């Protein structure tokens, strides 16, 4: 599980503050997230972990009264700079949500949607290739190759979530954000997604919000513990779960009354 090689920093957050109207949700987050690693964000409900995740691809922009201060850079480029095309950004930084949300379209069209609107395919063959490749990388191809025209919502929950992952990676992202991607899945489907994440991190930077301590421990190389809008502790996952430095982290991961 432990990765000793020093991966380079992909995402750099500095003094990130988020306000929902008057209420401050994040109080100055500083985090360096490494490329080709899975970083897990853990913490109790309302701690700000999902808010932070949504800052990375500016999903907070669509929330009324939400204001973001500080900087987040990906490969040194400020995602909040005025030159940034938010649509481009969200292709570069894909997202998978808690509840699988395939479009009410065919399996093929779910995956082809992004490449089409971003003009990634010059021909039908190219598009077929992208769809097949994305479904293969999401570990779904073998199960759906014979029914690509079936509706995406006809699939099981775990298959739907893998379809959403295929959809996200079809547009060649750098980063994949996952907000509790397995909380609606059974343990088998969860294990399939976890195995997939280990495979995907070879090409992408993955940031996952999870409420499952076991899952964070199993799949991530680094873990950040959020509490009341602050990062209390951030470090190698194996250290966080065996010997956390902070009392609050220890209490949280051990299920203690902090």
Partner 1 sequence: MEDQHIVTAFDRDLAELNRMIAQLGGMAEQQLATATCLLDARDPAPIDALIAKDKELDALEFLLNERAIEMIAIRSPMATDLRRIIAAVKIASVLERIGDYAKNIAKRSRVIIASETNRSDSISLTRMASLVQQMLNQVLDAYATSDAESAMDVWDRDQEVDQLHTSMYRDLLQMISAQSEVAEVSSHLLFIAKNIERIGDHTTSIAEQVYFLVHGSLPSDDRPKADDSSGTNLGSQKKR
The least distance separating partner 1 from the CB of residue 52, rounded to whole angstroms, comes to 23
CB-nearer residue toward partner 1: 166 or 217: 217
214 makes contact with partner 1 (CB under 8 A): yes
244 makes contact with partner 1 (CB under 8 A): yes
- CB contact set of 215 (below 8 Å; sequence gap of 6+): 40, 182, 190, 194
256 makes contact with partner 1 (CB under 8 A): yes
243 makes contact with partner 1 (CB under 8 A): yes
213 makes contact with partner 1 (CB under 8 A): yes
Instruction: DSSP for 104-147, please give it.
Output: SSBHHHHHHHHHHHTT--SSHHHHHHHHHHHHHHTT-HHHHTT-
Helix 124-137 to helix 157-169 angle (10° resolution) is: 130
Other CB atoms within a 10 A radius of the CB of residue 226 amount to 26
Burial code (b: 16+ CB inside 10 Å, e: under 16) for 50-64 equals bbbbbbbbbbbeeee
Selected range binding partner 1 among 90-98, 132-140, 174-182, 236-244, rule: CB under 8 A: 236-244
Are the CB atoms for 44 and 227 separated by under 8 Å? yes
Selected range binding partner 1 among 11-19, 134-142, 154-162, 210-218, rule: CB under 8 A: 210-218
CB-nearer residue toward partner 1: 46 or 145: 46
The least distance separating partner 1 from the CB of residue 232, rounded to whole angstroms, comes to 14
Total residues interacting with partner 1, rule: CB under 8 A: 15
Residues forming contacts to partner 1 in the complex (CB under 8 A) are 213-214, 217, 241-244, 250-251, 253-258
């Amino acid at each position: 599980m432990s990765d000793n090689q020093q991966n380079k920093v992909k995402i750099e957050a500095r003094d990130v503050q988020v306000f929902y109207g008057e209420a401050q949700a994040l109080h100055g987050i500083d985090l360096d997230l490494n490329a080709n690693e899975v970083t897990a964000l853990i913490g109790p409900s309302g701690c700000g972990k999902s808010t932070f995740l949504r800052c990375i691809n500016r999903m907070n922009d669509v929330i009324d009264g939400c204001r973001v201060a500080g900087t987040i850079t990906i490969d040194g480029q400020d995602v909040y700079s005025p030159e940034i095309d938010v649509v481009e950004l969200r292709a570069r930084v894909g997202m998978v949500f808690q509840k699988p949300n395939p479009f009410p379209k065919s399996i093929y069209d779910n995956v082809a949607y992004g490449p089409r609107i971003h003009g990634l395919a010059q021909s039908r063959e190219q598009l077929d290739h992208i769809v097949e490749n994305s479904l293969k990388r999401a570990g779904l191809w073998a199960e759906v190759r014979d029914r690509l025209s079936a509706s995406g919502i006809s699939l099981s929950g775990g298959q739907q979530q893998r379809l959403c992952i295929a959809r996200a990676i079809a547009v060649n992202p750098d980063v994949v954000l996952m907000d509790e991607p397995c909380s609606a899945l059974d343990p088998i489907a969860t294990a399939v997604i976890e195995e997939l994440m280990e495979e995907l991190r070879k090409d992408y930077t993955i940031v996952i919000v999870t409420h499952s301590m076991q899952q964070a421990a199993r799949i991530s190389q680094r873990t950040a513990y959020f509490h009341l809008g602050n990062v209390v502790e951030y470090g190698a996952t194996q250290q966080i779960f065996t010997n956390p430095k902070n009392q609050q982290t220890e209490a949280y991961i051990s299920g203690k009354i902090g």
